[in-house]
């Protein structure tokens, strides 16, 4: 058998950390950096007319298309496209900004530094801004500064997501008022881990909002109805771990999907849901197996999906059992 020499080791590629890729303010202001090329004065990259077999077809696309691709990537991956080639170096900084902290370091200090540096150096517009809702408590002033930066002008998607095990009760403070400066442009909004007082909800109007999520939010019954009514285009509504209301009445000409989930048994949580007028409603989901919910449907001609009833494991009183009324049909859990 012919002897073989030692097999050379493969070099392992390690992707750079996002802190190493995001440019600092000093780097952006340094001589020679300059603004990104204008979309109206784009030149094809070097080698665009070379042999088609070796050409980089993706890099040959216009800046506007590359920017749209990069803006749809997770934040850490979008920032790393700057090291692909000189052709890509300015794409991320000139593309619509997307900040999604779910893929970034979990340490709050590091995370806050990344977000602060990004919103202070990246030009507008911003498509999506998603940060942990715990920042609304211990970093409320920092969040307020982020929301007021020009980079977030005309924001379309705003999400303050929370982890249920992080804090068992909703925070008692309201969100910063700067959160609602995007009410005219928001299409998707998730508000989490805060208190929405009546004074905050009054006067709000979201003409373009199609998806609304309230997670671990304390809000009165009156304000909840007012908030839903202020979204004339809403199609998807999620209420998860809500406090401060026991009954919800749905009156929406555009709502297609509604889901609700309770966090624990309590006197200030949703117990009764009445769908009074929802001509487009197709899906009605009760995402809680532990506790029952009384649901009455008066008018929802397109309703196709209903789920689910509780499993009764934590139910001790008959009044807590799930009950569904659809016209003259009554479905009662035993």
Task: Please indicate, yes or no, if residue 47 is contained in any of the structural domains.
Answer: no
Say if 165 falls within a structural domain.
no
Residue 81 counted as domain residue: yes
SS3 83: helix
- In the predicted model, is pLDDT for residue 74 greater than 60? yes
pLDDT in tens, 285-316: 887 655 668 889 999 999 998 876 555 544 44
Report yes or no on 318 lying in a domain.
no
Per-residue pLDDT tens over the stretch 29-40? 454 444 444 444
Binned at pLDDT 50, 70 and 90, residue 41 comes out as very low
Q: How far apart are CA 217 and CA 243, in angstroms?
A: 6
- Whether the CB-CB separation of 223 and 201 falls below 8 Å is answered with yes
Q: What is the mean pLDDT of residues 182-203?
A: 92
Per the structure, how many domains does the chain have? 1
Residue pair 327/299 in contact by the 8 Å Cβ criterion: no
Domain-located, residue 91: yes
| 3-state SS class at 221 | helix
pTM score over 0.75: no
Asked whether residue 72 is domain-assigned, the answer is yes
Instruction: Judge whether 85 lies within some domain.
Output: yes
Whether residue 73 lies inside any domain: the answer is: yes
At which residue do the structure tokens 């196709």 appear? 304
């Amino acid at each position: 058998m012919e002897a073989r020499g030692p097999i050379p080791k493969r070099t392992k590629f390690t992707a750079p950390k996002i802190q190493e890729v995001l440019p600092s303010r000093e780097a952006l202001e340094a001589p020679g950096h300059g603004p990104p090329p204008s979309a109206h004065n784009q030149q094809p990259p070097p080698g665009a007319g070379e042999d088609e077999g070796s050409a980089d077809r993706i890099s040959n696309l216009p800046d506007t298309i590359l920017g749209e691709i990069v803006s749809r990537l997770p934040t850490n991956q979008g920032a790393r496209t700057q090291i692909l080639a000189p052709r890509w170096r300015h794409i991320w900084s000139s593309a619509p900004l997307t900040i999604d902290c779910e893929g970034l370091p979990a340490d709050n200090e590091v995370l806050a530094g990344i977000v602060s540096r990004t919103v202070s150096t990246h030009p507008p517009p911003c498509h999506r801004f998603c940060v942990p809702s715990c920042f609304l408590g211990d970093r409320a002033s920092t969040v307020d500064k982020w929301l007021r930066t020009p980079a977030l002008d005309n924001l379309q998607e705003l999400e303050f997501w929370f982890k249920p095990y992080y804090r068992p009760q909703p925070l008692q403070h309201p969100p910063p008022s700067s959160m609602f400066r995007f009410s005219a442009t928001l299409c998707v909004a998730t508000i989490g881990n805060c208190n929405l007082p009546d004074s905050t909800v009054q006067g709000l109007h979201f003409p373009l909002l199609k998806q609304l999520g309230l997670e671990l939010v304390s809000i009165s019954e009156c304000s909840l109805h007012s908030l839903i009514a202020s979204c004339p285009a809403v199609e998807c509504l999620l209420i998860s771990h809500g406090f401060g209301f026991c009954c919800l009445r749905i009156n929406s000409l555009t709502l297609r999907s509604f889901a609700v989930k309770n966090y624990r048994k309590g006197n200030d949580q949703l117990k009764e849901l009445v769908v009074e007028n929802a001509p487009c409603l197709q899906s009605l989901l009760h995402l809680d197996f532990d506790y029952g919910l009384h649901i009455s449907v008066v008018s929802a001609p397109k309703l196709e999906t209903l789920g689910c009833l509780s499993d009764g494991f934590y139910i001790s009183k008959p009044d807590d059992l799930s009950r569904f009324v659809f016209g003259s049909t009554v479905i009662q859990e035993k």
